[in-house]
Amino acid sequence: MKPLFTLLFIIPQFVLFANSYTTVSNGNWQNSSTWLNGTIPDPENLNGDQVYINHDITILNNNIKLLNGTIMLVNGVNFNLLGGNLIIENGTATFNNVNLYVESGWSLQQTTSDAYLYIYGSSVDIGQNFQNSEGLRYCEDTVICCETQ
């Protein structure tokens, strides 16, 4: 009985401390009107957070960095990362029926064994490079275009 009690006690506390962010309209990541309750997630430090993107979104001159169990779910939208990179370290990014455009730098990086990337039924245009040092990536019914410079 003790292990079950411990598990039930730990999980709700973890959920209470994790930040959850959800888009409510199309727009710029850095605009408060894009996010539920006007709270903008720090794109460079998504640390144990849950991010739900169900609207077209543009990120200007920032990296998106998923750390420490962050989960980002992007569903049925245009996701444009201009002037930054998508970096997955110890996190999960899932794109479902998304037009994903990543413009610059190394563009898309998975840097640890706990970096997970899932892409379903999407179109992916990576401006320069895809770096997979470690981690897991899975693509299904997805078109990927990379332009190496």
Give the tens place of pLDDT for each residue, 81-95.
988 888 899 999 999
97 occurs within a structural domain: yes
* Domain boundaries, position 50: 19-146
**CA-to-CA distance for 14 and 48, rounded, in angstroms?**
9
14 occurs within a structural domain: no
Residue bearing tokens 């309750």: 37
Q: Considering its fold, how many domains does the chain have in total?
A: 1
Annotate 49-61 with DSSP letters as a single string.
-EEEE-S-EEEES
pTM: 0.81
5 occurs within a structural domain: no
3 occurs within a structural domain: no
Length of the chain, in residues:
149
11 occurs within a structural domain: no
Q: Which tokens is 56 given?
A: 């077209």
Give the tens place of pLDDT for each residue, 35-80.
999 999 999 999 999 999 999 999 999 999 999 999 999 999 999 9
4 occurs within a structural domain: no
Q: Which tokens is 126 given?
A: 């990576």
**CA-to-CA distance for 64 and 47, rounded, in angstroms?**
11
